[in-house]
Structure 1
Amino acid sequence: MNKNYVYHSSLAPYIEVLICQKRADGFLYEYEAYILKTFDDFCIDKGFCEPVITRDLVMEWAIQRPTEGVNYRNQRVSFIRQLSLYMNSLGINSYIPRQTASTATTVPHILSADELKSLYQVVDSYLPDNEEWHRFSMEYQVILRLYYCCGLRLAEVCNLRVKDVNLDDGILKIIQSKGNKDRLVYMADDVTNLCRNYHKRMASLLPGSEWFFPGRVPRQPIRKTSMDKKFKQFWNMTPFADSCDKAPTIHALRHTFVVNRMNEWMLKGISLNTMMPYLSRYLGHSSVEDTFYYYHQVDKAFQIVRQKDFLSGRVIPEVVPYEE
């Protein structure tokens, strides 16, 4: 169920045929089609009428925009490089932009179902030695589930205030998150019930607390660094710790949420172009492009497509941007 954009520039015939060929070969080619649509609009806006891709056109397209990083700029150019290579294969002499290396990025570990199950078993069985800190066993259980089940950022979970957690309707109000944006995050029923039970117990221990997850000093929220350390401790207690090439960080839970959601949609044949704007807003991303980065980052992303995409190395761009 691919999104079929309509292209109108002088390069539209080549763009359309390239996309059709890729999809006929079994490639998803949704994100590429989206970027090629922005390139098509760019050509029209600039009054470009040539039947070939020129150096001047590529140089103007390659100018880094104020709102994007160098990796995303490089990715945009890499898609035009693919188009130019295709046109040259047809005997059409088009300018081919050079392949540009991206800056080093950290690709997150995506936890498997077995790894997640093992991790939460460790978390649920944990009890601090000091009885004074027994309440943290509850906090860890809820924080790490909110982080994964709602795809939240760590700071968003740790800094939740009681007044911003609507336990009646199952809604989290995220205030002044990354980019100074506010948003509402809807919880599943089982997650809402978990939060209700947790808050009832916590309110009896620390009545009147401002923070949904109080820290060691109850008038302050639990610290992000504490959760980072605790996640590493929990992970190292799982049977997967010794066999994992790259140990996950706590941020891997957010990435795992996104990749699993994408794969679920792929399995059901749901168009990503339809769903990605909703997912992007849910995650607090600035744009759909930020969320689409997962397509290029993670080996497990779009596993259904890659089962038949034995040439994925030729299709996935050389550039791999990264955004939390």
Structure 2
Amino acid sequence: MDKKFVYTSKLAPYIKGFLKERELKGYNSSAIKFIFLEIDKFCNEYNIQDDYIKEETIDKWRSTRPNDSDRSLYMKYNAWIQLGNYMRDLGIDCYVPIPYRKGAKNNYIPYIFTHEEINTIFLLSNSLKIRYQYSGTMIFTMPAILRLLYSAGLRIGEALAIKNKDIDFEKRTIVINDSKNNTQRLAAINDSLLPVLLQYKEFRDKNPIEKILVPESPFFVTQRGKSCLGESVRRWFSDILNTAGISSKLGGNPPRIHDLRHTAAVHSLAKMVRNNIDVYCALPMISVFLGHNDPRSTNNYVRLTNEMFPGIIQLEHPTSLIFPKIPKSE
């Protein structure tokens, strides 16, 4: 644990355990670590001696946050909820608050890479170099991971959770188990992705590492055979973006590795529309491709696609995807 993130309250063991689990799954915990520091400090300052979460504790904590914005409260309540659910999974009966709905809307605008930028990212991932001797590096996985994220529209956590048994190269499918919505889905291996994954696997399997071929072992590993961490992937991706000179557009948000998923959706939607697939038919396919539970979550990609490729999608009204016009019966 980073020296900056030291937790000492009665809830500290569970906070540390929860963060460790997220780390092993490859999730980015940067923001939630700071939220837990605040929660840990609150428990110490108000002498909370319970080693489980009580409703009174949540109420007391909420009274100390009068100046927090709705968005901030939404994120902090989510931290409490995730911690409570983690403790319940351990068999600890504790209170889990309901979500704070007011700040649920996130106005974050994703960065959509151009096709040229995607090609540059892939080329640079092939030529990454280690700055110093480190046998635990996962640098050789980067070309395969980045192409998988873009080709299959995966989240980084989903990609790093893939096990050997989840990939069927003959059927060219990948079973995605560790999804955000706790559902299982299939991701297709397309013609350009297949040789990249096979090349990675061939190189990986030459390493004399115990259990590297075991079905339950992770598919993406470091040179020591350990699971790759999401933070390491993000650092290498950041290096690639810096080398490529790719940064925020017109004062917008800086590009993130998660934006490969958004870009995959936008590029796929644009391609389908260009191939004369009706947008009303294309959206459900994009929704399945991304693993969305609610197809309405995919509607935002219509706006992003129109911004990236102006005029490609013709809609009679901005809300027509949600409330399509129904002809009146005579």
- Using the alignment, how far apart are the partners of 1:184 and 1:102 within structure 2? 29
- Matched with 1:230 is 236
Instruction: Give secondary structure in 1 for the equivalent of 2:126.
Output: helix
Q: Which has the higher contact order (CA 8 A, sep 6+)?
A: 1
Structure 1 residues 304, 156: closer, same or farther in 2, change over 3 A? same
The answer to whether residue 214 in structure 2 is matched with residue 208 in structure 1 is: no
Q: How big is the alpha-carbon RMSD for the aligned residues of Structure 1 and Structure 2?
A: 3.0
Paired residues for 1:1-324 under 5 Å: 103-133=105-135, 136-205=138-207, 206=209, 208-209=211-212, 210-215=217-222, 218-219=225-226, 221-241=227-247, 245=251, 246-297=253-304, 300-301=307-308, 303-305=310-312, 315-316=317-318
**1:218 Cα deviation from its structure 2 partner:** 2.8
Alpha-carbon spacing, 1:217–1:106, altered in 2? closer, same or farther (3 Å):
farther
Letter in 2 for 1:140: M
- Structure-2 residue corresponding to 1:46: none
Change (3 A) 1:187 1:257: same
Contact map agreement 2:160 2:228 (CA 8 A) in 1? yes
What residue in structure 2 maps to residue 14 of structure 1? none
Q: State the alpha-carbon separation in 2 of the partners of residues 298 and 247 from structure 1.
A: 18
SS of 1:248's equivalent?
coil
Q: 2: CA distance between counterparts of 1:107 and 1:243?
A: 11
Q: Percent identity, aligned pairs only?
A: 21
Deviation per CA, 1:143-166, whole angstroms, max 9, x where unpaired? Answer: 000000111111111111111111
Distance in 1 separating the partners of 2:161 and 2:104:
34
Structure 1: which amino acid aligns with 2:196? Answer: L
CA distance in 2, matches of 1:201, 1:131: 19
Equivalent residue of 1:169, what SS? coil
Cα deviations by residue, 1:190-241 (Å, 9 ceiling, x for unpaired):
211211121111011135221111147634x211122222211210111334
The amino acid of 2:301's aligned partner reads Y
Report the TM-score, using the length of structure 1 for normalisation.
0.58
- Unaligned 5+ segments in structure 2 are 1-73, 75-102, 320-330
Q: Which runs of 5+ in 1 are unaligned?
A: 1-69, 71-100, 318-324
- Asked whether the 8 Å contact 1:266–1:304 carries over to 2, the reply is no
Once the two structures are TM-superposed, the CA of residue 243 in structure 1 deviates from its matched residue by 7.1
TM (normalized to structure 2)? 0.57
**Is this contact kept in 2: 1:231–1:250, CA < 8 A?**
yes
Q: Is the contact made by 1:215 and 1:223 (CA closer than 8 Å) also made in structure 2?
A: no
SS in 2 for 1:185: strand
The one-letter code of the counterpart of 1:228 is: R
Q: 2:59 — aligned with what?
A: none
